[in-house]
Structure 1
Amino acid sequence: MYHHRIASKDGQYVHVEELTNALLEQGHELHFVAPQVNENAEFGGDGGFVSKLKKALPHALYEIIELAYSMWVFIKLAVAIIKFKPDVIYERYNLYQPAGVLAAKLFNVPLILEINAPLVEERSRYSGLALKSFAQKIENFTWTGADCCLPVTNVLADYVRAAGVPDSKIEVIHNGVRQYFIDEMLAQPNIEEKAQITIGFTGFIHPWHGMDKAIEAIAEHKELPLKLVCIGDGAILPQLKAQAEELGIADKVEFKGLVSREKVLNFVKDFDIALQPDVTSYASPLKMFEYMAVGALIIAPRTPNIEEILSDNTALFFEKGNQQAFKETLTEAITHYTKHIAKRSAVKQSVVDKRFVWQENAKRVIILGKELRCYQ
């Protein structure tokens, strides 16, 4: 049984879709207890009514409603468990959502909890959290109540350990890419020097990403055959477009906006240099594994969570938060591009060597589920 609370079609949706598709491919039966996601919605769409409600209500009231909603979810889970008799419950963690733990304990079904962020900290920092102490108790209860926790990085695992979960109940599983996409990329000819170097970025463009510095770097080397392709949205897009015009490189910069999931991958295939301008300290960025699979020269901040994925043999690093260092590293990449081709081949192979593959993740989940069933 797969339980989540995602109603938006975004990166969270991608994670759910990729893992569940991998489980289905391997012949496992899935039953979902989750909100209905509009399959026809554009990628990047929000959660509709829920998002509007969250913006309209005071934080404290919205948080109480979240917890109350968990009571309804508990009933749905109980009914589904009685009907389908699942071997394992797999849940994507969300705040104020202890229903999965309560239902699992009541019906003696093992619960595997996928954790993508310490949501008390994240929401406190970015959107505000009124009942922080209470929320922390609920988060700790949910994490410690699961039979196995799957944080997406070891940095995030430290948060889980701090909540009181023993190492024996923690398994770090990074995000990944599809097996067939990796196979397709590995079947491509060896990486060679190209007439035009495509620099790529996917995701929401925030001011602190320093994409203006990337445009500056390209403008300072107009003589080189460069093109910057940005996939995604962002409030600062008009300013970036104006900057490219002002610097005389509008023809070298393309903003594709929000596109479908499949189109994103098609664009990424053409990336020679890929940008990861910033990263949350505990994240396992989905885009990173796609950059790796196509053998792009990745420019990323040197942070512990990224160094779980990349190394000096597979990427170019810069100091996190230092936009000038980001620009200098990109400049190194575009002016000495051929010198770093070995990193591109190495990063492509590392996806396979480190098993950053959704199908491999699914296998690990099943192994964990079988082990937990043996102890029930």
Structure 2
Amino acid sequence: MIPSTFSKCLYIHYQKFKSDGSNTHTQAFNEHFSQLCDDQGIAFKVVCPQQVLPEDEDAYTPSWFDELKRSLSQFYLRDFKDLLINIRRMLTEIRLLKAEQPDIVLTRYASNSLSIIWACRWLKIPVVLEFNSPSTEQTSSDYRQLTFFKKLYSNQHALSLANGAFGVSDAIINDAMLTNKGKVTSTIANGVDITLFTPKNTGNQPESSTENAPITIGFVGSFAPWHGLDILIEAFISLLEEGLDVHLLLVGFAKPESRYLLSPLTSPNIAKHVTITGYIEKESVPQFIDKMDIATLPNTEDYCSPLKLFEYMAMAKPTVSVSTAAVEDILRPNEDGLVYQRGDNAQFKAHLKTLITSRQLRESLGQSAQTRVHEQFTWHKNAQNVMELLERVYQAKVDS
């Protein structure tokens, strides 16, 4: 007889770069879900690669053979490579599952992790998928892809083989459900650790803030091209040229392919108003957000549930963000922060000016944002929602 509740869960993912937002997500989820499992007497184990520091990434210089493989991968070869990786991993994962004997498996889905779904089906172990992007975003438009592989690696196909799934936004889960009506699914937004991301200062003012100090405009992230750093930099330089007393604080690490975005900040008359921290460990990020008067999210993909947004809000910072459905499910416009329409850079700058000139508005938006996050979007709440989904999936398996 199968027990009505599961007693062991395995979480398998293949994220390895510490500078990626996905690493922040997996590490935070691991910590809080593990604690929840401990509280409920459920065995929980994480299987993942060794984590790599940004310095290790930066120090690596691709060889001519690496460059050749990268070039050839644009012509259908990457999909064949992923298929071979999946077949090889499936054999390894079958041995792993036989040794661990979990009641249920949770995995962060990507084209190179289809293998764990195959392995779970082979051993008749229920598997739940975590989707972080829709199928249409999984492969860059720079790569050519056969229709067979596009379908094989799609979220729709993956969900058809799995027992359930959750996505971080409605856009993602609706995409996966297009051909999977009746599957156990849920939208579960990301979260924040409110014990770590808590302001040390009251009144939403940085420690160094005085009536004569510059207003610090901040951004946290990996400086990826799609983060809209160019929009922020353009607005900041324009504010300086208008004579406003502002400072730009960029918290994060720019990979080589993104460093061109920072070039407008190198001139001496601009650079003296800018601080770029470089890579910062997660535990130290709050102290830098604490220095900000205004936080920014200039751009994000429409389907994203941006980690930085939760962190800003938890730190009671007023945020100027691009408007997307997923963002506005988290940050209520004109209540928790200000939003602008993508492409309207003048509106983005205008919102910054509004906050620069109104300390009262900065404080009211920040306090409202913090309250909302505490009530709705902690990692503990995220872990509870995932646990409820796993229980539903496992119960459906028992009843079938």
**Bucket of the pairwise TM-score, normalised by the shorter protein:** 0.7 to 0.9
Say whether the 8 Å CA contact 2:186–2:389 is kept in structure 1: no
Distance in 2 (CA, whole Å) between partners of 1:47 and 1:132 is 37
Counterpart pick for 2:260 among 217, 227, 236: 236
SS at match of 1:254: strand
Deviation of 1:366 after TM superposition, in Å, equals 2.1
Taking the aligned partners of 1:99 and 1:324, their CA distance within structure 2 comes to 47
Q: How far, CA to CA, are the matches of 2:138 and 2:128 in structure 1?
A: 22
Helix, strand or coil for the counterpart of 1:90?
A: strand
Of residues 2, 27, 31, the one that matches 1:21 is 31
User: Do the aligned partners of 1:351 and 1:357 also contact (CA within 8 Å) in 2?
Assistant: yes
Matched, 1:335 2:345: no
Q: For the Cα contact (< 8 Å) 2:322–2:341, is it kept in 1?
A: yes
Identity of aligned residues (%): 23
Corresponding residue SS for 2:301: coil
Deviations 1:130-185 (A, max 9, x none): 235522333222122221111101122221122x1236522111111114125x44
RMSD of Structure 2 on Structure 1 (CA): 2.7
Secondary structure at 2:343 match in 1: coil
- Aligned letter for 2:34? L
Q: Does structure 1 residue 358 correspond to structure 2 residue 379?
A: yes
* Candidates 325, 343, 348, aligned match of 2:347: 325
Question: Residue 95 of structure 1 contacts residue 135 of structure 1 at CA under 8 Å; is this kept in 2?
Answer: no
- The residue type equivalent to 1:304 in the other structure is A
Match of 1:294 among 288, 302, 315: 315
The one-letter amino acid of 2:217's match is I
Aligned in 2, Cα 1:370/1:169: closer, same or farther, shift over 3 Å? closer
> Could you say which residue in structure 1 is the equivalent of 2:103?
87
What's the CA shift for 1:373?
2.3
Q: Secondary structure at the match of 1:114?
A: strand
- What's the CA shift for 1:122? 4.0
The answer to whether the 8 Å contact 1:94/1:119 transfers is no
Q: What pairs up with 1:247-262 in 2 under 5 angstroms?
A: 248-262=269-283
What does 1:194-205 align with in structure 2 at a 5 Å threshold?
194-195=209-210, 196=213, 197-205=215-223
Q: Give the whole-Å Cα distance in 1 for the aligned partners of 2:72 and 2:43.
A: 39
Residue number among 30, 34, 53 corresponding to 2:44 in the alignment: 30
Deviation at 1:119, TM superposition (A): 4.2
- Cα distance in 2 for partners of 1:86, 1:179 equals 31
1:283 positional shift: 0.7
Alignment of 1:72-221 (within 5 A): 72-125=88-141, 127-139=142-154, 140-162=156-178, 164-166=179-181, 169-182=184-197, 184-185=198-199, 189-191=202-204, 194-195=209-210, 196=213, 197-205=215-223, 206=225, 208-209=228-229, 210-221=231-242
How many angstroms does 1:63 deviate by?
1.6
CA contact (8 A) 2:218 2:249 kept: yes
Paired with 2:80 and 2:221, the residues of 1 have a C-alpha distance of 32
Moved more, 64-73 or 226-235: 226-235
Partner of 1:268: 289
**Alignment partner, residue 282 of structure 1:** 303
Amino acid at match of 2:11: Y
**Separation in structure 1 between the aligned mates of residue 87 and residue 70 of structure 2, nearest angstrom:** 22
TM-score of the two chains, using structure 1 as the length reference: 0.87
Aligned in 2, Cα 1:57/1:36: closer, same or farther, shift over 3 Å?
farther
Structure 1 unaligned residues grouped into runs of 5+ = none
Q: Write the letter of the residue equivalent to 1:282.
A: Y
**3-state SS in 1 of match to 2:113:** coil
- 8 Å Cα contact 2:165/2:184 also seen in 1: yes
Offset at residue 345 of structure 1 (A): 0.5
Conserved 8 A contact 1:96-1:135: no
Contact 2:317 2:362 in 1 (8 A): no
Count of residues in correspondence between the two structures:
365
Secondary structure in 2 matching 1:229: strand
One-letter code of the match for 1:242? Answer: T
- Kept after mapping to 2: 8 A contact 1:7/1:47: no
2:16–2:49 CA contact under 8 A, matched in 1: yes
Q: Measure how far apart 1:249 and its partner are.
A: 4.3
Give the superposition deviation at 1:24. 2.2
TM-fit CA distance, 1:23: 2.0
